[in-house]
């Protein structure tokens, strides 16, 4: 009688996503809600870093069940604590904290600082990793004051480059940088445009000029207030930030990242 042999395939660890925020965290919430569902399968939000200590997104993370580890790295506080330090030093510190969270993907979801080359070079693997970031997951947890990571869930070695994506409330090539919604609203009222949009793009050195991953056009209705336009844009943002994350994770899967 033939003997049946069962083959046990080890379960792949969930993708680890680190999210950078500065404000209310509504887009962070969209990611949290989508994680480990068909919208964003086999993925977890494992760390949230804020540039502001009073950002409500920190509360969203800490009150999640189970709580998502958080940290605050404010520019002014950092510069005050490190006299003579530069903006590049601050961005290197942000990169260190990101690396200590062992991410597969980094998402800028309302992060209000333009990240310098210092940050991008470290996450691309072309610059030395700050010393603390070479710690083991357990040591990194102590540095960041995080709970010890679950066994078998954290990669032993960080793979580079680490993809970074950003959510920007404008169409590719239009209204790069700050106050994109307000500038689009003014352009509409001046008869210069009839629509705006939202995109998720890869982060590169040129602000808001990275490869678009998801783009959604938004018609502007005559008579809308700026607040109405903002509300509509935020609704779309909550959808495409999840879609953009899924696109990148599917690409990592094809590349054989583990």
Catalytic residue numbers read: 168
- Pairing label, strands 164-168, 195-202: antiparallel
SS3 at position 129: coil
35 DSSP 8-state letter: B
Backbone angle region of 122, left / alpha / beta, with phi > 0 → left and psi within -120 to 50 → alpha:
alpha
Is the CB of residue 208 less than 8 Å from the CB of residue 170?
Answer: yes
Class of residue 27 by CB neighbours under 10 A (exposed 0-12, middle 13-18, buried 19+): buried
**b/e 213-247 (16+ beta carbons within 10 angstroms → b):** bbeeebebeeebeeeebeebbbebbbebbbebbbe
Is the CB of residue 69 less than 8 Å from the CB of residue 147?
Answer: yes
Query: CB neighbours (10 Å) of residue 256?
Result: 6
Query: How many Cα atoms are found within 13 Å in the side-chain-facing hemisphere of 46?
Result: 27
With CA atoms as reference, report the closest residue to 203 among 234, 250, 156, 163.
163
| Residue 222 dihedral angles phi and psi, to the nearest 5° | -60, 130
């Amino acid at each position: 009688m033939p003997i049946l042999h069962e083959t046990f395939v080890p379960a792949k660890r969930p993708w680890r996503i680190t999210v950078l925020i500065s404000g209310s965290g509504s887009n962070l919430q969209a990611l949290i809600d989508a994680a480990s569902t068909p919208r964003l399968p086999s993925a977890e939000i494992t760390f949230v870093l804020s540039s502001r200590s009073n950002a409500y997104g920190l509360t969203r993370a800490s009150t999640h069940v189970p709580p998502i580890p958080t940290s605050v790295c404010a520019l002014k506080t950092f510069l005050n604590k490190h006299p003579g330090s530069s903006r590049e030093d601050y961005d290197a510190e942000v990169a260190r904290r990101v690396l200590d969270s062992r991410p597969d993907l980094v998402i800028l979801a309302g992060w209000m600082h333009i990240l310098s080359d210092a940050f991008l070079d470290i996450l691309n693997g072309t610059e030395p990793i700050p010393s603390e970031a070479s710690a083991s997951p357990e040591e990194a947890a102590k540095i960041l004051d995080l709970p010890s990571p679950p066994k078998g869930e954290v990669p032993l070695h960080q793979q580079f480059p680490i993809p970074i994506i950003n959510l920007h409330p404008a169409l590719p090539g239009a209204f790069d940088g700050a106050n994109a919604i307000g500038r689009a609203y003014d352009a509409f009222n001046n008869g210069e445009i009839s629509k705006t949009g939202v995109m998720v793009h890869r982060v590169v050195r040129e602000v808001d000029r990275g490869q678009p991953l998801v783009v959604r056009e938004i018609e502007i209705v005559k008579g809308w207030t700026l607040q109405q336009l903002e509300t509509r844009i935020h609704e779309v943002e909550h959808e495409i930030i999840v879609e953009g994350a899924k696109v990148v994770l599917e690409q990592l899967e094809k590349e054989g990242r583990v």
